[in-house]
């Protein structure tokens, strides 16, 4: 595992974008696992700027997103398909037909989860999987639970996740209570995992994920078992790792 300590959110975003762009340059037809939420926005903005400048191309890249809210149409301004279009896909030269997000409107969500698992398998899993980190340690929408769920599945969102996402909706009552999320098995099958974290409110989650026991009540702790994990975080998010003497790179 490699840990990169950056000064602030902008520096974290640039470092993460560097790692993703290097993967695309090395393997132009790579499979990128992508995440949503506020943390990767800066990374996507940087990738779009470099792509528009002609530094590299996404034309052959295929992507698989981690999750989608159950019940939201792709055109809903809080759906994760909409997020990906407006924050990345509409600004780069990727073929939209090569981008994949679970269907939150599927008539049979269980069948949609099975379809998505098969899709990810058929692509050979992600060459690089980008992850954010919830304050409760969730990755994707894999919430704290008694077991690690391997397959893509429908999950009931915890109140802490609903509260954290309420800022994107008119009110907390409008936040969907369920989501379709890639399971731990698909995440762990990625050849490399890139976890990004920013802000003091993520310091406990980062510490618990990498210094605590491997425990499904902190889903990100499973990453301790992955052979190639890169953590990029700003000083605030990594403060407890640094205080514990965990080696970091700058």
4 contact partners, CB below 8 Å, separation of at least 6: 15, 230, 231, 232, 233, 248, 249, 250
Sheet holding 193-197, edge to edge: 2-6, 229-234, 193-197, 128-131, 31-34, 62-65, 99-100
Q: Which one of 138, 142, 165, 234 is the catalytic residue?
A: 138
Q: What is the rounded average pLDDT for all residues in the chain?
A: 96
Global pTM? 0.95
Rounded to whole angstroms, how far apart are CA atoms 222 and 11? 26
Is 186's pLDDT higher than 90?
yes
| Residue 204 falls in the annotated catalytic set | no
> Among positive and negative, which fits the CA dihedral 42, 89, 133, 213?
negative
The residue assigned the tokens 């959110």 is 9
Rounded to whole angstroms, how far apart are CA atoms 231 and 181? 21
| Residue 67 falls in the annotated catalytic set | yes
Q: Residue 146 CA to chain centroid, in angstroms?
A: 22
Q: Which one of 67, 68, 112, 234 is the catalytic residue?
A: 67
DSSP string, 106-127: -SSHHHHHHHHHHHHHHTTS-S
Q: Which one of 136, 142, 165, 208 is the catalytic residue?
A: 136
Is 168's pLDDT higher than 90?
no
Task: Give the domains, in start order, of the chain with CATH numbers.
Answer: 2-243 (3.40.50.1360)
Q: Tens of pLDDT along 69-124?
A: 999 999 999 999 999 999 999 999 999 999 999 999 999 999 999 999 999 999 99
Is 174's pLDDT higher than 90?
no
Q: Tens of pLDDT along 196-216?
A: 999 999 999 999 999 999 999
Rounded to whole angstroms, how far apart are CA atoms 75 and 233? 32
Q: Which one of 143, 153, 165, 208 is the catalytic residue?
A: 143
Predicted confidence band of residue 173 (pLDDT cuts 50, 70, 90): confident
| Residue 142 falls in the annotated catalytic set | no
| Residue 217 falls in the annotated catalytic set | no
């Amino acid at each position: 595992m490699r840990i990169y300590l950056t000064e602030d959110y902008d520096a974290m975003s640039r470092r993460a974008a560097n790692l993703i762009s290097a993967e695309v340059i090395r393997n132009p037809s790579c499979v990128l696992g992508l995440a949503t939420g506020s943390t990767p926005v800066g990374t996507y903005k940087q990738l779009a700027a470099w792509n528009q400048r002609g530094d590299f191309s996404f034309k052959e890249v295929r992507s698989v997103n981690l999750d989608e809210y159950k019940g939201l149409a792709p055109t809903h301004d809080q759906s994760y398909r909409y997020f990906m279009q407006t924050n990345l896909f509409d600004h780069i030269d990727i073929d939209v037909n090569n981008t994949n997000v679970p269907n939150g409107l599927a008539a049979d969500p269980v069948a949609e989860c099975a379809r998505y698992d098969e899709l990810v398998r058929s692509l050979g899993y992600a060459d690089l999987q980008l992850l954010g980190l919830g304050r409760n340690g969730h990755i994707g929408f894999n919430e704290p639970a008694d077991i690690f769920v391997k397959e893509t599945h429908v999950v009931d969102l915890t109140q802490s996740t609903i509260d954290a996402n309420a800022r994107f909706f008119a009110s907390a009552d409008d936040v969907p209570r369920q989501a379709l999320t890639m399971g731990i098995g698909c995440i762990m099958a990625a050849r490399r995992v890139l976890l990004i974290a920013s802000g003091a409110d993520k310091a406990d989650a980062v510490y618990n994920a990498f210094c605590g026991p491997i425990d499904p009540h902190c889903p990100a702790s499973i990453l301790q078992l992955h052979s190639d994990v890169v953590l990029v975080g700003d000083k605030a998010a990594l403060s407890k790792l640094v205080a514990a003497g965990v080696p970091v790179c700058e």
